[in-house]
Amino acid sequence: MAHMIKPQIILLKDGTDASQGKGQIISNINACQAVVSIVKSTLGPRGMDKLIEEGNGTTITNDGATVMKKLNIVHPAARILVDISKAQDNEVGDGTTSVVVITGELLKEAKHFLEDGLVAPQIIKGYRTACNLAIQKLMDMAVDLKEKSAEEKRAMLIRCAETTLNSKLVADYKTFFAQMSVDAITMLGDDLSVSSVGIKKVTGGSVTDTLLVEGVCFKKCFSYAGFEQQPKRFENAKILLLNLELELKAEKDNAEVRITDPDQYQSIVDAEWNIIYEKLDLIAKSGANVVLSRLAIGDLATQYFADRNIFCAGRLEVEDLERTRRATGAEVQTTAQGITPSVLGSCGLFEEKQVGAERFNFFTKCEKTKTATILIRGGAQQFIDEAERSLNDSLMIVRRAMKNTKVVGGGGAIEMELSRYLREYARTISGKQQLVINYFARALEVIPMTLAQNSGADGTKVLNQLRQKHAAAGPEGRWFGVDCMNCTVCDAFQNYIWEPVLVKESALNAATEAACLILSIDETVKNPQSEKPQAGPKGKGKGKGMGMPMGKGRGRGARVLKG
């Protein structure tokens, strides 16, 4: 008697798509490969740029995190690559393309294993082991420049910044921007918060007209009549920061007044004027000669301050107000009552100057300076936007390198050395793990290979030269990497192609975690968009499968698969 197969019931909503098994993992890997192929060509000094067109304009960039973000990827597994590039950008600032490329190569190698019948958990175990070994070797190889003199440390920071800027649109001015990045971070003292460095963009002029301001500067705010009568320069300025609206309309917005006699209306108008004049008198008596507010400062207040030789500006950006607070030592006030000299800030020089077609307010010579502002100049808006992204990466690298003074050779040198080390380790163990670790080592070679290919060199030839150098030369040859300019190999450390060890550590960890995460997903369940039920008592809604107890309602809540 034939064995009866029981019907299998899946409690999923009608229209739900469920894919599973090895085919699902390979499908996810293929989706990730498609994304990697887009950003791969942006890697290195000779990498190409991407032009991404959106509804609000076009973006030209070769920054991995920006490309990934602008692509608007919808595939759930491929979105993991977007997340790791964003995490790398937030944590370190550089290596955003590398982390995506390494993840893609690890998945490519894993795909061959899966097709040959190796289960995903075995691959994940091998990858994690290889990553731990690689990080340990990375730390052992890193060169610590902690004991160097101040001049040597500064030179090290400039070289790390130059290595970052090599692959950017502003590579022709890398020394100029690298020195500016180091100077900007140095101005922050012990507080190495990147938000303390403001970046402002002004179209026009040459890129070498870019300024570094020791202090704060921002574009002239929206101003009312009477603004031009105010003084535009103060030495030893006293600064008052407000989060307060100084306009007549403010009082009537906050209250409701009912009158029985029309003659009372004038007394209400007079009361409003008295309230705002009281605020203005208190501010004028505080001794401040520069008044800045996050909210509007109206025409009455503007003229009032102009008559008393006080400069005012309203509607400041929150970031500008915060950086002014850090630079001048002022405390933001939410009321005009009780303003004491202790809450006022100070700066050696305040002035309003013309920069290109814009007017900017500059606060410089601040004793408590913990801020810096970079004023980027350039031709096209797209160029300035990309210069800003490049500078952000450079600033992040300098900040990280200042905290962690260990560096390694760039240009694919460290990846080749880690690859060699892992291959040697793989020979000392047996079983399937030997194969997985060996292929992890091979995946790391994608960085020098891609650098060579993007430079127009013969990737296979350059890779073979690097393997030979790293295998034969011992400790002296471990820093050989790709010379992208001359399409050959060179000693990256001797040629000052340096990268902070933190960049490589973060990239390896993130890439391995992402690859393991994608390999561990063996089923994807896509739920159809829920429809809102029409109004009605619970249990009687007319939406699809909604509001009904399970098991009722003509089978909408379940699919029955008969064996």
Active site residues: 63, 96-97, 393
Q: Which of these, 443, 481, 436, lies nearest to 462 by C-alpha position?
A: 481
Instruction: List C-alpha distances in Å: 120 to 152, 170, 390, 432.
Output: 48, 43, 38, 12
Q: Contact, 519 vs 22, CB < 8 A? A: no
Nearest-angstrom CA–CA distance, 545 and 542: 8
Q: Contact, 217 vs 360, CB < 8 A? A: yes
Buried/exposed code over 401-422 (b: 16+ C-beta within 10 A; e: otherwise): bbeebbbbbbbbbbbbbbbbbb
Q: Contact, 47 vs 62, CB < 8 A? A: yes
What percent of the chain is helix, strand and coil (3-state, nearest 5)?
50, 20, 35
Q: Which of these, 446, 468, 229, 191, lies nearest to 323 by C-alpha position?
A: 191
Please name the helix (run of DSSP H) or strand (run of DSSP E) that holds residue 378, with its range, or none: strand 372-378
Instruction: List C-alpha distances in Å: 195 to 99, 199, 372.
Output: 24, 9, 10
**DSSP string covering 305-361:** HHHTT-EEE-S--HHHHHHHHHHH---EES-STT--GGG-EEEEEEEEEEETTEEEE
Angle at 517 between CA 526 and CA 529, to 5 degrees: 15
Q: Which long-range contacts (CB under 8 A, 24 or more apart) does 249-258 make?
A: 249/298, 250/276, 251/275, 251/276
The token duo for 562 is 């008969």
Q: Is 58 exposed, middle or buried (0-12, 13-18, 19+ CB in 10 A)?
A: exposed
Torsion angles phi and psi, residue 242, rounded to 5: -125, 150
DSSP letter at 167 equals: T
Q: Which of these, 190, 246, 199, 193, lies nearest to 218 by C-alpha position?
A: 199
Nearest-angstrom CA–CA distance, 185 and 148: 19
